[in-house]
């Protein structure tokens, strides 16, 4: 949840995208265990990249997609690959990239960025009302974005650095966390227990109120304004 740092690996990422006419004869498949943000036509979510080659990738994702649909993979902030669905089996999908890449160079740049701390975990951009519970009472906040390990919240000024709190999303999912920073009524919350990729598999599901929240009326309180 720290603020973005200058990314010196940008050039390496750019070099991994090959010209359209430069497709390699040998398209080796690399086993990958990486989390990415997947953007479809009607939803987005986190997904697991299982393997990658110069021409495509195998992914496991929760958002719906049909054959020939266009899907965007965001590996880190600002690094995106677009592809088309060429096969599917339940939640397993195969993509063909619109432009060829150098999988070796791309994966190497990602590893350097992760190890150096120059890249941040992928996050979902959401706009939903949530509840926080702390020693300050129950507050209504707006979720700006969410990752496996944290959230950015828009609040009424009551959240301060170091505050222990519990955040409950519209879908009923909740986590304990600590406010790490605040600025201009925005707060970064570090979660004490990370969220799974599956829990963040669909942004639409995250912002859909569950029955218990609707019955309690817990999300009807006015949201914090900028």
Stretch 143-157: mean pLDDT, rounded?
96
User: Is there a contact between 59 and 38 (Cβ–Cβ < 8 Å)?
Assistant: yes
Query: What region does 78 belong to: left with phi over 0, alpha with psi -120 to 50, or beta?
Result: left
At 164-208, the pLDDT tens digits run: 999 999 999 999 999 999 999 999 999 999 999 999 999 999 988
Give the pLDDT band of residue 27 (cuts 50, 70, 90).
Answer: confident
> Is 0.85 topped by the overall pTM?
no
- Write out 42-96 in H/E/C secondary structure: CCEEEEEEEEECCCEEEEECCCCCCCCCEEEEEEECCEEEEEEEEEEECCEEEEE
User: Distance (Å, rounded) from C-alpha 115 to C-alpha 113?
Assistant: 6
Helices (H), the chain: 10-15, 103-116, 203-206, 211-216
Q: Across-strand partners of 70?
A: 84
Query: Which H or E run includes 188?
Result: strand 186-191
* Cα separation of the two ends of the chain: 20
Q: How far is CA 113 from CA 3, 11, 16, 38, 76, in A?
A: 15, 12, 14, 20, 9
For residue range 72-109, list pLDDT tens digits in order.
999 988 889 999 999 999 999 999 999 999 999 999 98
Q: What is the mean pLDDT of residues 119-134?
A: 91
Q: Which domains does the chain carry?
A: 10-116 (2.40.10.220), 124-216 (2.40.10.220)
Of 165, 173, 176, 153, the C-alpha closest to 213 is: 173
Torsions phi, psi for 203 (to 5 deg)? -65, -35
Q: What is the reported pLDDT for 219?
A: 46
């Amino acid at each position: 949840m720290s603020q973005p740092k200058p990314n010196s690996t940008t050039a390496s990422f750019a070099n991994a995208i090959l010209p359209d006419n430069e497709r390699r004869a040998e398209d080796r498949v690399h086993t990958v265990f990486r989390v990415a943000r997947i953007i479809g036509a009607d939803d987005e979510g986190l997904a697991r990249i299982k393997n990658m080659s110069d021409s495509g990738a195998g992914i496991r994702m929760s958002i719906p997609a049909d054959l020939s649909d266009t899907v965007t993979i965001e590996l880190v902030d600002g690094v995106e690959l677009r592809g088309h669905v060429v096969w599917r089996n339940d939640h397993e999908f195969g993509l063909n990239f619109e432009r060829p890449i150098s999988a070796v160079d791309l994966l190497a740049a990602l590893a350097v960025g992760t190890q150096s701390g120059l890249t941040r975990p992928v996050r979902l951009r959401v706009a939903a009302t949530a509840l926080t519970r702390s020693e300050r009472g129950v507050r209504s906040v707006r979720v700006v974005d969410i990752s496996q390990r944290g959230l950015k919240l828009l609040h009424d000024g009551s959240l301060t650095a170091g505050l222990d709190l519990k955040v409950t999303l519209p879908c009923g999912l909740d986590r304990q966390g600590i406010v790490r920073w605040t600025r201009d009524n925005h707060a970064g919350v570090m979660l004490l227990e990370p969220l799974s990729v599956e829990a963040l598999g669909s942004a639409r599901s995250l912002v859909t109120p569950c029955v218990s929240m609707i019955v309690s009326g817990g999300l009807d309180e006015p949201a914090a304004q900028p």
